[in-house]
A and B are shown apart, each in its own frame.
Chain A
Amino acid sequence: MTPGRAGKGHGGVASPAVGRDLPRVDGPAKVTGTATYAFEHQLDDVVHLYPLQATVARGRVTAVHTGAVEAMPGVVAVLTSDNAPRLAWADDAELAVLQSDAVAFRGQLIGAVLAETSEEAREAASAVLVDYDELPHDADFPGDRSRLYAPAEVSGGFATDTDVGDVEAALASAAVTLDQTYATATYHANPLEPHSTVAVWEDEGLTLYESTQGTHAVATKVAALFGLEAGLVRVIAPHVGGGFGSKGLPHAPVVLAALAARLVPGRPVKLALTRQQMFCLVGYRTPTLQHVRLGADADGRLSAVSLDVVQQTSRIKEFAEQTAVATRTMYAAPHRRTTHRLAALDVAVPSWMRAPGECPGMFGPEVALDELAVACGLDPVELRIRNEPESDPQSGKPFSSRNLVGCLREGARRFGWQRWDRAPRSRLEGGWWVGVGVSASTYPVHRMAGSSATVGFGADGRYRVAIGAADIGTGTWTSLTQIAADALDVPVERIALQIGDSALPPASVAGGSSGTNSWGSTIVEAARTFRDKFGDHPEDGDEVDASMPPNPDTERFAMHAFGAQFAEVRVRQDTGEVRVPRLLGVFAVGRVVNPRTARSQFLGGMTMGLSMALHEQSVLDPRFGHIVNHDLAGYHIATNADVGTIEAHWLDEHDPHVNPLGVKGIGEIGIVGTAAAVANAAHHATGTRVRSLPLTPDKFLL
């Protein structure tokens, strides 16, 4: 299909743009190096910023010796808690940068050096001597279980605990039971583009060129921190080199840059984090321990599902990952219990990372189901199908659409699942044990409030469609162009999309796989309003604004995307090395706006899940309190050589309830369940059940 389709528009368009595999409209700019990322904005009279970070895990800074440093070549200023501007709002301890001398975790920002070049700033920062009053710290996860606590709620506003029926009695009377604990590691998102900011104060306004998933979210938060009217902070982010959640919420570095820029009004201050700094300052996924108990009858029908999760947060700011929430919705069982407990430690603040909640939370239960299938002598695909619920077990609401069974069946067919002998450790080929595994996948349909869009008509005959959305590499530039074209019934060439700037109409954050749903629905509404008002032959200057309309169906239905992931795994008999020659995923995600960018999201998510399965692990040394393998040599991410064949497919799912477009969101579901599928395949290959990620060679070495 060619992108330059010469459609006629207004009744003459041959086929809708939505559903076509339009190449990325920003692709040529990216491959020719002309797409401008935050740090690359060329401004005059720039000052470079290099952070100072605490080298103790807890205590107080008693002195920062800046005298000699201020005389070093190129140094413009040294920023510390002594001379940092006071923030108007400091309730968020992560963002209250330099507002006190307290140190709450190793690597926390305690100052910065401003210099004429980045090299001078970094060298001067290394020469700053800091005195501390050090206090004992606790960075040991899980450590002493007695100090675990139940948060008031978990992320997303979900209940911390749920308890339906009588799990203990059901387990006691179940024909088959399983009781195991699973562990996921600490993970850092590590987008290719480091977190970067260019901050300029002019008059009383602040401009931030920022690597962010949400320009308005940053503008609103930074304005509150500095006591400014929202309109006085402008955030510009036309292109973002990946975020994976780590750029979804404002973190401390952008505040540091804004504070530093206050010292040099009119001069742009540039900050780009080093890879090591990204391991302390921009969030991470908490490690989890998942105690799973299942009870079933001899045919594998679940009577009880229990998941007790232990994870960490920072002592200064609670982040309670909603790890057990997916289990509340996955399978039918009359007796169900989930809990979340936190260890509050003197560590960096955890945050969002691709599919927070579902990604770690589907590991333990989906491996447990595989163990239950073995115990019942059942095919794990069939076991899942037998436990398919009629309606959402948690809310009792009907699903707007739920095609997990369809994904499992289509995946099994495409993968050749039935050809494999189910007995573990039954195939040895050239010194490699070979096996296959399956896992379910799910992600909720999120619709975020707060977006509006402008549609206007210009003298050039093009429609200007403006919304402050972000393209973090996912294809937003392209998919919103397609949605706008269909909503206005014109070819894509007649859409001039504007995104990535808080000066545009407000948009919700690119998170929770909600962008296409929320921004797309908003654009559809704005286009409808425009056509109602001006018809299909508008004049130059015609323009409307519209906000995302409410969707009453969100109260009536449970809305989730589902998928099934299949993996083939080889484990070398004498070394335990694990290879994944084949992954196959089938997803039911509603309507797919652009098959090309959608496939890219699925493949990327599955690759990230493969990486989680085999490699990724941030190692925190509890004596120091920081991640010690804090670079890409130490924190392994899958390389090309680790990735074999990956296939992503989707069902033709029509869901009239989720939104006018029928889309469910695709950015995160690809990572959910992959690690469980790989671990289950590794068990099938070797007979060794590994319940703790990652699946490194030593765990299969006998």
Chain B
Amino acid sequence: MRPFRYERPDDPLAAVALLADDPTATFLGGGTNLVDLMKLGVARPDVVVDVARLTGRAVETLPEGGVRIGAAMPNSDLAADPVIRHRYPVLSQALLAGASGQLRNLATTAGNLLQRTRCVYFQDVTTPCNKREPGSGCSAVDGWTRHHAVLGASQHCVATHPSDMAVAMAALDAVVQVQGARGPRRIPVVELHRLPGDEPQRDTSLEHGDLITSVDLPDLPVTARSHYAKVRDRASYAFALVSVAAVLDVHDGIVGHVHIALGGVAHKPWRATIAEDMLRGGPATTDAFRAAAVAELTRARPLPDNAFKVPLARNVLVSVLGHLTSSAGAGR
């Protein structure tokens, strides 16, 4: 491992300032991804700024009805939080579908959002990768693509974002609070992660030195239910082949509020706006769910090893919406 300087500043502004001074400096949360990448030589920071004690580690209720999640809150605690379990079960379920108990104990909210892709070529410094080394080429696009994107990819990068939590947050219209060198600002989670385009080295819209301080979840309609389903290559401890987070409110058989996000299919949590638009105000039937899923996925451009993700995403989406419509999905 490359020698680096370890800093543990006392407040967020000091942390932001430390990064501003050094383009290779990086924040350290739980370290469950960054430390691995440092061992592999993928991340080579000169300065590591530990922020795991600088921001909140709890869930607060906001006056306007939503909640604020501390950026340093461990995934385990967030998943177990009574308010999250009661009001946002999709988020608790997504967290528990990710990683392992040990990793969730360490991993933080902000760190989970900012984890890097697990594309095997990105993690192997002996193979070209535009995300790791811009301009070197994408090894994945003509390589092993089982876990890669079917939506929104580019010729420069076909990686997927690995987080489960972020998919639930995208469906919940979560908003990230950021402290930057020029002051604080708010970024919706759906705009935090980006598609690769011709700059796959940029996972997010954050600037260097931006520190996520919290994540806000808006209030949901009282009658809305939410659910997360994940399909992976083994029963636990694997990244999603496809996952679906959905929030659904049905009255008299008609869809009201509906938010859907897909995981495992794109460089970012994929908000299924086409499907949402088709469903909103229409009948909550299996046929309608299926038609909406198919419409959303018409833009899919599968690679040789991952064509199965298209019918799989369709089926999981239909299943999750069906679950939320049925009595089994009751209890929010």
Residues of A within 8 A of B (CB): 55, 73, 106, 119, 122-123, 126, 574-577, 579, 614-615, 619, 621, 623-624, 626, 628-631, 633-634, 636, 638-642, 696-698, 701-702
Residues of A within 8 A of B125 (CB): 126
Judge whether A642 and B3 touch: CB under 8 Å.
Answer: no
**Contacts known (A628-B143, A638-B234, A639-B235); A698 close to B120, Cβ less than 8 A:** no
Distance (whole angstroms) from the CB of A342 to the closest CB of chain B:
24
Give a binary string over B39-78; 1 marks a CB under 8 Å from any A CB, 0 the rest.
1010000000000000000000000000000000000000
Q: Answer yes or no: B127 CB below 8 A from chain A CBs.
A: yes
Among residues of A, the one whose C-beta sits closest to the C-beta of B239 is A633
What's the least CB distance linking B46 to chain A, in Å?
A: 13
Q: Which of A106, A640, A697 lies in contact with B231, CB distance below 8 A?
A: A697
* Interface of B (DSSP majority class): loop
Residues of A within 8 A of B234 (CB): 614-615, 636, 638-639, 641-642
In the complex, how many angstroms separate the beta carbon of B156 from the nearest chain A beta carbon? 18
Please name the 4 residue pairs, one residue from A and one from B, whose CB atoms are nearest each other, closest first.
A698-B308, A641-B235, A641-B236, A574-B315
Taking a contact as CB atoms closer than 8 A, the residue among B118, B143, B315, B316 that contacts A623 in the complex is B143
A123 in contact with B3 given A619-B144, A628-B144, A634-B120 (CB within 8 Å): yes
A-B residue pairs in contact (CB < 8 Å), sample of 26: A55-B126, A73-B3, A123-B1, A574-B319, A575-B231, A575-B319, A614-B234, A619-B144, A623-B142, A628-B120, A628-B127, A628-B143, A633-B239, A634-B118, A634-B120, A636-B234, A636-B238, A638-B234, A639-B236, A641-B237, A642-B234, A642-B235, A696-B233, A697-B308, A698-B312, A701-B312
B15 at the interface (CB under 8 A from A): no
Tell me if B241 is interfacial: C-beta within 8 Å of chain A. Answer: yes
Q: A622: shortest Cβ distance to chain B, in Å?
A: 9
In the bound complex, what is the Cα–Cα distance between A615 and B146 (angstroms)? 13
Q: A629 contacts which chain B residues (CB < 8 A)?
A: 120, 144
- Give bound CA distance, A701 to B319, whole Å: 14
Q: Per-position contact with A for B92-131: 1 when CB-CB < 8 Å, else 0? A: 0000000000000000000000000010110111110000
| Number of B residues with CB within 8 Å of any CB on chain A | 33
**B2 interface residue per 8 A CB criterion:** yes
19 A-B pairs besides A106-B126, A575-B315, A698-B308 with CB distance below 8 A are A55-B126, A73-B3, A122-B1, A126-B125, A623-B142, A624-B139, A628-B143, A629-B120, A629-B144, A631-B123, A634-B118, A638-B234, A639-B236, A639-B237, A640-B236, A641-B235, A696-B233, A701-B311, A702-B311
Is B175 on the interface with A (CB-CB < 8 A)?
no
Known: A126-B41, A628-B124, A628-B143. A579 touches B235 (CB 8 A): yes
The residues of B that contact A696 with a CB separation of less than 8 Å are 233
CB contacts (< 8 Å) of A106 on chain B: these are 126
A621 to chain B, nearest CB (A): 5
Taken together as a complex, chains A and B put the C-alpha atoms of A126 and B316 apart, in Å, by 43
Interface residues of B in 1-31 (CB under 8 A from A): 1-3
CB-CB under 8 A from A626, the residues of chain B are 126
Whole-angstrom distance between the alpha carbons of A96 and B118 in the complex? 35
Please indicate the chain A residues that have their CB under 8 angstroms from the CB of B238 in the complex.
Answer: 636
Do the beta carbons of B233 and A615 come within 8 Å of each other?
Answer: yes
- The residues of B that contact A122 with a CB separation of less than 8 Å are 1, 39
Interface residues of B in 257-299 (CB under 8 A from A): none
